[in-house]
Structure 1
Amino acid sequence: MEHLFSSSVRGSIAKLSTSTILLVFLLSCFTFTSTEAYDPLDPNGNITIKWDVISWTPDGYVAVVIMYNFQQYRHIQAPGWTLSWTWAKKEVIWNMMGSQTTEQGDCSKFKGNIPHCCKKDPTVVDLLPGTPYNQQIANCCKGGVISSWAQDPDTAIASFQVSVGRAGTSNKTVRVPKNFTLQAPGPGYTCGPAKVGKPSKFISADKRRITQALMTWNVTCTYSQFLAQKTPTCCVSLSSFYNNTIVGCPTCTCGCQSSKTGPGTCVNPDSPHLATVVSSPSKSDNTPLLQCTSHMCPIRVHWHVKVNYKEYWRVKVTITNFNFRMNYTQWNLVMQHPNFDNLTEAFSFNYKPLTPYDGLNDTGMLWGIKFYNDLLSQAGLYGNVQSELLFRKDASTFTFDKGWAFPRKIYFNGDNCVMPPPDSYPWLPNGSSRKFISLVSPTVTLMVSMIFFFA
């Protein structure tokens, strides 16, 4: 009897465990959010900080620090990068070129020569353009702005020189700094520990001599959109010539107008007090002042299927800025669509294919033409840029049916934009009467049925 009771209990627990696991799995599918530190469209993208010790001093060393932005489409815009770390011992910074620390710290223990910085955890920023030449080194003094690698690899680099004291004067006594933190300009980057590697080598200007660093360590920083901001920063709207429906951004994509704080702060563009609000002293901070919309996103990207030709089809792309306090310099757009392998022309944007995987060419990067539309102005009359894209048709894949003509993913300045749900896309007239059934409903129904079946 006891054996039968034990078996029955074990069977009930097993069924309960199965149903519990299924329930947890179901909930996790709809509630857990990834930090997205890995970007499938830029799998090798990161910012690498290389620290080269180039000479010894009586109490430390002189090093050149170089930041390489190996991200294909994510750049660092104004007010620029901020780099901080924690010294492993009691180091001080005697002097810097090409950058400066934001605080000097307590240097009262020093007599005579006063260090540039005595803080245990210094914070370094780039110098501004126009800095005197005797304070510059190569690739410095851009106000912290760094281009993305695909847009301009020559300006995707920043550097500065630092003279460190009380640090040791040999490879055995020098300790690498810890706890590197990169703000660009806000949060979002996570930096790993500094790793000592092979010394960097340098080729002389006449290319006849090679020298090398006395010691080198590297730090790798990766980006997570979830860490950068808790809400999305852009959304996508869709339309087409074959359907009168304009599919707008989902309501409250980036916030709601009823919110008391954060993304809910907005102003009506027709407000008579608009100029006063926009020019208020508080605009110096990075808090966005948005135009009131249903989606409350700073950026909206609109994809319009414009014309259908015999062998081609044309799309119009418009980027609209709804932020009254932000001008986007060196903006870029990344789009994923299977017909990008046959893009014929981008009429007023620069274009570059992104092919992180061999044999797959479905992603393109677009950005503005210098001195023409590389600046996306703040919200208002000039707060938009636009271009048209001409695609050649592939008879084996081309169709306007089932939303094929619309993009799969869109990124603005490296952040993933929220797409409308697929069942709301503009459909062909002969398919307009079909019932749109969300995939979420049958999935939930199936999972719940499985729970009750195993229970």
Structure 2
Amino acid sequence: MLYLYVRCEINGDAYDPLDPNGNITIRWDVLQENDDSSRDVRIIRISIVNYQLFRQIEEPGWKLSWRWGGSEVIWNMFGAEATEQGNCSFFRGKVAPHCCEKEPVIIDLLPAAPYSMQVANCCRAGILTSITQHPNKYISAFLMHVGIAEPSDTPPGMPTAFSIGVPGYTCGEAFQFRASLAPKCCVSLSAFYNETIVKCPMCSCACHDQPKSQCVMAGASGPTMLQLSRNEPVVQCTNHMCPIMVHWHIKQSYTHYWRVKVTVTNLNYIRNYSDWNLVVMHPNLRSVEQVFSFNYKPLNVYENTNDSGVFYGIQNYNDRLLQLGKNGNVQTEILMHKDRDFTFKEGWGFPRKISFNGQDCVMPSPDDYPRLPNVAGSFQAQPPSMLLLLLLINVFIHMLI
């Protein structure tokens, strides 16, 4: 996974000693990239984080721009949109990309944007609060699928000339590091109110037809295993080809609480994971009532924001995640209190982000999340008062008869 960071700081004449380290950071995460020079090259998540203690980005909001290093185009976007499409005549007769500008200008979506176009931390009209005042509204994020107009053997260069389009701020050059060549885990989803099981996205970690991919069909053993190289992960053949799969299941709803089951499965034939950990981001983690079978600690990184936590195994019980087999998984259940923001609508009950051993897991698209049944509230528990009223009415009718 490739990361780029860009720091945007307020101009020198507006320096404030009360916030000497305040800045706005642009994080550019390449979540997936192909090595075959195909036009659908990368899935990129961009986050704009306001690390200033009291300065806010007010209306009309941020307006992010940069200069592409090659012939990149944006095929589609979620959570934001380009202000201009540009000249896409190169794709005549085909579906045109969302934006073909050499220097695209991107703006945030409005809060009323369709859910199918939203991602976590998007759709606030470009407004960023300070990290002190509203610690859950100081980040904006969006996703984009990026391809190249002219495939070649030369990989595109780094984007340059970043700007957030806010007067008084200047952005520096991007600096990068590569955390991993490919993701190592993925997330699947399910819920008691829908029979659909959302599997890990296709090719989350690799694809069957890639030369370096090594997988074993379920049930294979013996010579098949011995022929495979021990220098690369040897995983079970799946649609996602990940060595680790995390499954989040919304299990039950009570009057004041709800329950989630989390299962971590090791699909790697040749590795055990000792002292593993799982980091989850979800707004209701601030109201965790009980965690069964795992240790849990909240990650209060930003003071009052408690939407993230780390789960890890209990020593000498499940702190060692064994390789694929009968015992190749660990699982827990999480009981959480229903906060005032609680809802099962629009996929709210599913995590915003999950990482395993510090590496981000590939999440399914929000479009694929299990949906609520058409009859709203059909799965909700009936309050005792309503049941008592029905019983009294039934007794009264029999007395009249």
Q: Provide, for residues 51-71 of structure 1, a one-character-per-residue CA deviation record: whole Å limited to 9, x for no partner.
A: xxxxxxxxxxxxxxxxxxxxx
Q: 1:288 aligns with which of 200, 222, 233?
A: 233
- Does residue 319 of structure 2 align to residue 319 of structure 1? no
Q: 2:215 aligns with which of 262, 266, 287?
A: 266
Conserved in 2, the CA contact under 8 Å of 1:337 and 1:363?
Answer: yes
Conserved in 1, the CA contact under 8 Å of 2:214 and 2:228?
Answer: no
Conserved in 1, the CA contact under 8 Å of 2:228 and 2:234?
Answer: no
Partner of 1:229: 180
Partner of 1:183: none
* Counterpart AA for 1:24: K
Q: Distance in 2 between matches of 1:312 and 1:330?
A: 30
Conserved in 2, the CA contact under 8 Å of 1:347 and 1:389?
Answer: yes
- Does residue 287 of structure 2 align to residue 338 of structure 1? no
CA RMSD of aligned residues (A): 2.7
Partner of 1:305: 250
- Does residue 191 of structure 2 align to residue 240 of structure 1? yes
Q: CA deviation at 1:278?
A: 3.9
Q: CA deviation at 1:26?
A: 5.0
Partner of 1:180: none
**Equivalent position SS for 1:319:** strand
Q: Distance in 2 between matches of 1:375 and 1:339?
A: 28
Partner of 1:50: none
* Counterpart AA for 2:301: P
TM-score normalised per structure 2:
0.50
Q: Distance in 2 between matches of 1:351 and 1:258?
A: 39
Partner of 1:404: 348
Q: CA deviation at 1:400?
A: 0.5
- Does residue 114 of structure 2 align to residue 24 of structure 1? no
**Equivalent position SS for 2:102:** helix
**Equivalent position SS for 2:305:** coil
Q: Provide, for residues 152-181 of structure 1, a one-character-per-residue CA deviation record: whole Å limited to 9, x for no partner.
A: xxxxxxxxxxxxxxxxxxxxxxxxxxxxxx
Conserved in 2, the CA contact under 8 Å of 1:236 and 1:417?
Answer: yes
Partner of 1:423: 367
Q: 1:351 aligns with which of 261, 277, 296?
A: 296
Q: CA deviation at 1:332?
A: 0.2
Q: Distance in 2 between matches of 1:343 and 1:392?
A: 6
**Equivalent position SS for 2:350:** coil
Q: What are the equivalent positions in structure 2 for 1:161-200 lying under 5 Å apart?
A: none
- Does residue 336 of structure 2 align to residue 391 of structure 1? yes
Conserved in 1, the CA contact under 8 Å of 2:282 and 2:350?
Answer: yes
TM-score normalised per structure 1:
0.44
Conserved in 2, the CA contact under 8 Å of 1:352 and 1:365?
Answer: yes
Q: Distance in 2 between matches of 1:376 and 1:28?
A: 43
- Structure label with greater radius of gyration: 1
**Equivalent position SS for 1:378:** coil
Q: Provide, for residues 24-45 of structure 1, a one-character-per-residue CA deviation record: whole Å limited to 9, x for no partner.
A: 345999xxxxxxxxxxxxxxxx
**Equivalent position SS for 1:380:** coil
Q: CA deviation at 1:275?
A: 3.6
**Equivalent position SS for 2:178:** helix
**Equivalent position SS for 2:317:** coil
**Equivalent position SS for 1:253:** coil
* Counterpart AA for 1:309: Y
* Counterpart AA for 1:256: C
Q: Distance in 1 between matches of 2:284 and 2:199?
A: 23
Q: CA deviation at 1:358?
A: 1.5
Aligned CA distance change for structure 1 residues 402 and 25 (closer, same or farther; 3 Å): farther
Conserved in 1, the CA contact under 8 Å of 2:285 and 2:309?
Answer: yes
Conserved in 2, the CA contact under 8 Å of 1:278 and 1:325?
Answer: no
Partner of 2:5: none
Q: CA deviation at 1:269?
A: 2.0
Unaligned runs of 5+ in 2: 1-83, 88-98, 108-175, 377-401
**Equivalent position SS for 1:430:** coil
Q: Distance in 2 between matches of 1:398 and 1:18?
A: 38
Q: 1:251 aligns with which of 202, 210, 213?
A: 202
**Equivalent position SS for 2:238:** coil
Structure with the larger helix share: 1
**Equivalent position SS for 1:23:** coil
Q: CA deviation at 1:321?
A: 0.8
Q: CA deviation at 1:276?
A: 3.9
Q: Distance in 2 between matches of 1:315 and 1:241?
A: 10
Q: Provide, for residues 217-250 of structure 1, a one-character-per-residue CA deviation record: whole Å limited to 9, x for no partner.
A: xxxxxxx8x6242211110000000000000001
Aligned CA distance change for structure 1 residues 18 and 389 (closer, same or farther; 3 Å): closer
Q: Distance in 1 between matches of 2:182 and 2:375?
A: 34
Q: Provide, for residues 372-418 of structure 1, a one-character-per-residue CA deviation record: whole Å limited to 9, x for no partner.
A: 00000111211110000000111x20100000000000000000001
Q: Distance in 2 between matches of 1:242 and 1:266?
A: 34
Q: Distance in 2 between matches of 1:331 and 1:275?
A: 29
Conserved in 1, the CA contact under 8 Å of 2:322 and 2:329?
Answer: yes
Q: Provide, for residues 93-131 of structure 1, a one-character-per-residue CA deviation record: whole Å limited to 9, x for no partner.
A: xxxxxxxxxxxxxxxxxxxxxxxxxxxxxxxxxxxxxxx
Q: Provide, for residues 302-353 of structure 1, a one-character-per-residue CA deviation record: whole Å limited to 9, x for no partner.
A: 0000010111100000001111011000000000000000001110000000
Q: What are the equivalent positions in structure 2 for 1:121-200 lying under 5 Å apart?
A: none
Partner of 2:316: 371
**Equivalent position SS for 1:297:** coil
Partner of 1:216: none
Partner of 2:305: 360
Q: 1:413 aligns with which of 354, 357, 362?
A: 357
Q: CA deviation at 1:282?
A: 4.6
Aligned CA distance change for structure 1 residues 27 and 250 (closer, same or farther; 3 Å): farther
Aligned CA distance change for structure 1 residues 245 and 232 (closer, same or farther; 3 Å): same
- Give the fraction of aligned pairs with identical amino acids, expressed as a percent: 51
**Equivalent position SS for 2:245:** strand
Q: Distance in 2 between matches of 1:301 and 1:281?
A: 25
